[in-house]
Structure formats: C-alpha cells, structure tokens
Amino acid sequence: MLTLIIFLASFVALSLWFLFKENKELRGVFGKLFLGSFGLYLGTAVFMPGVVSWSTLALNVGFLFGAGFFLNTFSSSKIIFIPMLILMTLGYYCGVKGIDWFPFANTESTSNSLETSSNIDGLDPDSELLVEVSNGHQLSELQHVINKYDLKLEPAFALKDNASTDLDDYYAVNIPAEQMQNYTAIVADFKASNLIDHIEANEILSLDPVETISENTPNRKKRYTANDPDLGKVWGHDAMEVEALYALLATEKVQPKKKAKIAIIDTGVDYKHEDLNTNFVSISSEHNTDSHGHGTHCAGIAAAVSNNGIGIASFAPTSDFVEVTSVKVFGKYGNTSQRIIINGMLLAADNGADVLSMSLGGPSTAQSQRAYKQAVQYANKKGAIVVVAAGNENIDARKRAPASVDGVITVAALAPSLEKAAFSNDVSGLKMGIAAPGVDIYSTIPNNKYEYFNGTSMATPYVAGLLGLMKSIRPNLTTQQAYKILKQTGLETRNTKATGALIHPANAVKSLLKG
C-alpha cells in the first residue's frame, strides 16, 4: 500500500509539473516532489526486492511516462487537465486495488483473461502456461502445436498418488522468448485442438511486504500457566483465552492420539531456532532455512515450543501434540508461482501433513482456481486440512487465490480491539471464513530472534495451530467438521460478518471432546 501511494505521488507531481511548467516557482516545487517520490519508489524496488516486482516496476514506469505525455497534451487547459488527472489517478488506484465501482477498473475483463498483456508480463519465464491434457489423450497428439511454436513441455506437478487426481495430466509449457509475441495464438491453438480440458497462466506471485511494528505492544503483567517468558507480549493469548485451553487439557487429562504435523508452506523455516527446534521435523534440508523471516514467524505462531522457559508458547502445552515442518515455495526475494505453490502443497500432503498453513496468495481469476482446487482435494484425500490467508488488500477475499478456492478455510486478521484489521480482506462472501489475531503479532524470526509482524499471514498459523491440536486429538477430523466447530464455538468480533468468528481454542476442543 505504501509503495502504491509513493508511486501515485510521483505521478501527480509529474503531472502538475506539466500543468505549471510556465510558472518557474511552482515548476521547481513539483519537479523536486517528483524526483523525490519517484526516487524513493525506485529505491524501494531496487533495495527491497519482493516489495515491488520487476514486472510491476516496468508497468508502472511505462504508465508514468505514457500518462505524463498524454496529460502534457492537455496542460494548456486546466478545465480539461484537472478532471483528466483526477480520473487517471483514481482509475489507476482502483484498478490496482480491484475496486469494482470505478468505471475504468473492471478487473474481471482486464486482468482475468489469459490474453492480456499484464498477464504475459507477470508469467513465470520457465513455464508460462499450465495445460491439462484430456483423459484418454496423449501429449504426442499436441505435437503439431508444440512444433509450430518450438514449445517445451514437462509434467507440471510431482505427486505420489496419481490415481486420486487429474493433476498428473497437467504439463508446464515453456514458451521461447522469441515466441512470446504469439502468446495469444498459442493459447488459441491449444484450445482449438480439443485435446485439453483446461489451460491457465502460471503467474508470478510476490510475498506481501512484511510490516514490523516500530513500538512494541505493552507487556502484560499477568501470570501465565506456561513458563515461556514473553507470553505477555502475545495479546492474542488473552483474546483467545488460551489459559482456559490449558486448564481444559489438564483437567480432562487429554492425551493425543497422534502427533499432528503442521506444514508451513512459505519462505522456509529456521529449524535451529531455540523456540522451534524441538517441535520441528524436516522433509528435506533445502526447506530448513529462511532468508526472509516470514515462514519462521508463521511457524512460531503455529507451533512454538511451550513450557520450555524460552520465548513464546503455542496452543499445544507440550511437544506431544503437534510438530511443524517446512515447505519452501518462495525464493530469496519473495517471488513464486502458482505451479511452485501447488507442488509445495503436494509435497506436504505426500509427507503426511495434517494441516497445510498457507500465508500466501495472489489475484484470483476463473483460470487460477482449477489446479488449486484439485491440489486442495488431493490434500484432503491424504487427510490434510488446508488453511489460507485472506490477503491484505482490504478487498473481498473472493478476489484472491487460493483464499477463494473451494475446500480451504480462509483466515481474516483482527486488531487488538477485535475489529477487522484495516488491511485484512473481507471473508463474508466465502463458505469457510474465520478470524484470528493479525496485528502486532510477536513471534519467532531467524537466528533465535523475535519480532512483531502484521498481516493475515500471521492470523493463518493461529488457525493452523489450533487445527493441528484438534487433529492430534481426533486424527480423522475433516475440513467441514473442523470448520463447523470453529464457527460454532468462536467469539463475536466487532464485525463478525466481515471477519468470521474469532477462534476460541478451549471451546473448540471442548466441543471436539463431546463429539
């Protein structure tokens, strides 16, 4: 959001420079404003990789100078210029934010088509398309299309149980750079072959910028059952009445029937962290580091070691209930693709994950739902529940994937006041929306450190951690059963319709024990 404001400021400053180019004093003021704001925007893109993607940077620079040239044409007439400047600024903002009421911001027609140039710019250069070959047909039958454009195809997804899904029918299509001008024709030829069931763009997704809190939340002076010294910094512990959960588990002498595995599908996890190591199990060493910090923060929320006299605690009072693992799907600079995310989901499911915690996502299109949905179904068949962040754009979560995919539990973020976080997307239009704390969240980061972050990314592992605890008590718990319990036992928020109910771990476990 901040980078968007900086960019719009540079656009307005440049436009006003054209408008007042005959006034030396005002021209100087707006010239300095433009150079300062545009320089700050470029600096953010260069020195904070992942906050502004290169494709977005190129698109915005093109818009900036193209729109500036256009407005310069009307700079002699303020009657025309001022309304045009306002309309273009609002149009750009509403288009980026997905606000439907603005007449020039029709995101359904401008961003959801495979043929749009914005999609082409944002595709994975190694596999721009995902194609599902129809059952009963072979890849060799598409050889005429492959040869025509010198395409390279390989199986898109790696999974153990091919019989339970159609994901093994998907192929990743690599389009040579010199053939990208024929992108629209390639898509059309695949469709015209009548040999495929589905085709979608494999878009690059960026991690939402991590916002740290400049001033720490006041430390509470309460005494807690767990001996972890920083629990006073975890306001969600009180809001969700975790003390009541600990008391219930102790009073009822609840014992786990299995150790449930929570998979953090993210930037990786620092498995050596002092407050995670005891609970951590590795799928592969490549997933056990985290240069970004986002995944490690999520892991601490879901499964920090409780009662170890260090840092924070999670819902599980001992290490007998849950364990946490990592699947790294984001690169060093916070970029990934739909194909990589789905492969991460399949890897977690194939390695026995009981809960998939996914603090990620991107713009939702009709095309980007099918493969995600099949991946969710595959994970469900393997016994896993999939939990996804609602997103941080303050829009309808139905515009995000995989937040809007059928079969996932989608999590909105709450502020300490139990109001919807200002950035959190609205989950009222989804079948399974729920809420958890997502502002001023204190948790683990790499190198045995701790930090406060904001985001629906932080709310999601709270839900994943509770579901992991519930799965340890009832291993055959399904997504629908789990969501019904979370919804019925949750607490009202300041706007429950938009956020869903706030999870209440003690009530949820109590209901589970009665069932």
Annotated catalytic residues are: 266, 294, 457
- Count other C-beta atoms under 10 Å from residue 26's C-beta: 14
Strand partners, 410: 388, 433
Strands of the sheet with 196-201, listed across from one edge: 152-155, 170-174, 129-133, 196-201
CA 226 to chain centre: 31
Q: Residue 155: beta bridge partners?
A: 171
User: Which string of DSSP letters, residue by residue, matches 212-252?
Assistant: E-SSPPPPP----SS--TTGGG-HHHHHTTHHHHHHHHHHT
Extract the tokens encoding 137: 């047909």
DSSP 56-72: HHHHHHHHHHHHHHHHH
- Work out the number of other CB atoms within 10 angstroms of the CB of residue 86: 11
User: Where are the extended beta strands (E) located within 317-460?
Assistant: 322-328, 335-337, 355-358, 362-363, 385-389, 400-401, 409-414, 433-437, 441-445, 449-454
- At position 220, the amino acid (one-letter code) is R
Hey, which residues does 398 pair with through a beta bridge? Answer: none
Q: How far is CA 183 from CA 55, 58, 59, 178, 201, in A?
A: 17, 19, 18, 10, 11
